[in-house]
Amino acid sequence: MFLKDWIQNSFITYAVISSSLLPSVQLLKLQEHSVVRRGQPQHNCDVNFNNLAAYTDATCRGTDGIIYKCVKNSCLQNFRFLCRDVGPDGKSLTGKLRPIVPDDYTTRDHFIEAYVNYRLYGCPYIPENSHRQSCNNCFADHDED
C-alpha cells in the first residue's frame, strides 16, 4: 500500500512539474524566431524610410521604387546618421555633426533629409552616412500604387 501511494504521488508530482515547464520551453522556441524571420529577404531603404510612432509599420522604399511595409522591430535598431541643422535657405547645413536616430529620412540632391520627432536635419553624403536602414519582415504595399 505504501509503495502504491508513493508511486502515485510521484507520478502526480512529475506530471505537475512537466506541465508547468512545457509552456516555457515552447515559449523559448518561439522567441528564437520572433525578432528575425528566417528566409525573409532584406529590404534596403535606399530612397526613403519612415518609422513614425503614429503608424504600426515602418515604410521602406529602395532604388527599385517598390514601397514596403515592414514590422518596425525587423529593422536595424542601432541605425544612425551623422547630421547637421538645415540652414534657412533649405540647402545649406550649419552647426556641428551629431549622431541622430531618424524616424524618417529621404535622400535628396544635396543631402539626406532626416527627421527626429518632426525636427529636420541634413545629413551630408559622407562615408559615415553611406549606409541605409534595412528591414527583413516586409510586404509590398500595393495601396500606394
Task: Give the H/E segment covering residue 13.
Answer: helix 2-34
Q: How far apart are CA 51 and CA 72, in angstroms?
A: 7
- For 27-73, how does the pLDDT look when each residue is reduced to its tens digit (9 = 90+)? 444 433 334 445 678 899 999 999 987 778 999 999 999 999 999 99
DSSP collapsed to 3 states, 63-129:
CCCCEEEEEHHHECCCCCEEEEEECCCCCCEEEEEEEECCCEEEECCCCEEEEECCEEEEECCCHHH
Please report the pLDDT score of residue 35 as a whole number: 43
Please report the pLDDT score of residue 12 as a whole number: 61
Higher pLDDT, 123 or 41: 123
